[in-house]
Amino acid sequence: MTCRVCGAELKDGTLFCGNCGSSVTATRVRPPEMADSRPSDTSIVPPLAKPPAGRSKPAVAGRFPGDVELDEDGLPPTEAIDIVSLDSAPPAPPAARVRIYRLSFSTGESVEVRGSGLVGRRPITQPGEHVDQLVAISDPARSVSKTHLEFGLEGEDLWICDRYSGNGTVARMLGGIARQCEAGRRYRVERGTRVDIGDQWFDVS
């Protein structure tokens, strides 16, 4: 099986291409047959500047301190380990909480993803379309389209899809890698990704 976008070889059962991030199972979203009856008044902004070259990568944590010597099995000595009683240990968070995503917008809004949704200044669905959430954000400069992008969950993955917006959508992955999203195509986004929509943006956590 190969990716329909970049042609990379994929394993059976793969949901997203590891090379370009495109959805393997999703089909291209066609432009709505019935256009939004409201006139478009999105203010077009200049293209986003590319991230500066040589941007440093995030630090990697999780190593043992230099003053802790490991034994022959590669483990720290017993006296260096804090033993916590099961009775006093805090309860583990529910497993389902790990799969919850939150979108934190530059305008101050914060939304917990509960399924599919639309983001924009005044998002509306097309005839026959159903989504779980409509996320309206404030943007007096009108750089964000009325219905700018769509988001949803596929298994445990969060995806976004530009809805033919006036200024487009850019996903900036961890490490500063920016990807211009093709309108009508789904892209997987991981926690820590910043998504630019016009002059505004939101972080995925």
What is the pTM (predicted TM-score) of this model?
0.58
* Structure confidence by residue, pLDDT tens digits, 139-162: 999 999 999 999 999 999 999 999
What pLDDT shows up at residue 133?
Answer: 95
Q: Give the closest residue to 134 by CA, choosing from 143, 28, 144, 146.
A: 146
What pLDDT shows up at residue 39?
Answer: 57
What pLDDT shows up at residue 85?
Answer: 44
Average pLDDT over residues 155-184: 92
Radius of gyration of the chain (CA): 22
| b/e map 98-130, b = 16+ CB within 10 Å | eeebebebeeeeebebeebbbbbbebeeeeeee
Q: Give the closest residue to 40 by CA, choosing from 122, 140, 146, 123.
A: 146
Q: How far apart are CA 168 and CA 190, in angstroms?
A: 19
For 102, the token pair is 């939150």
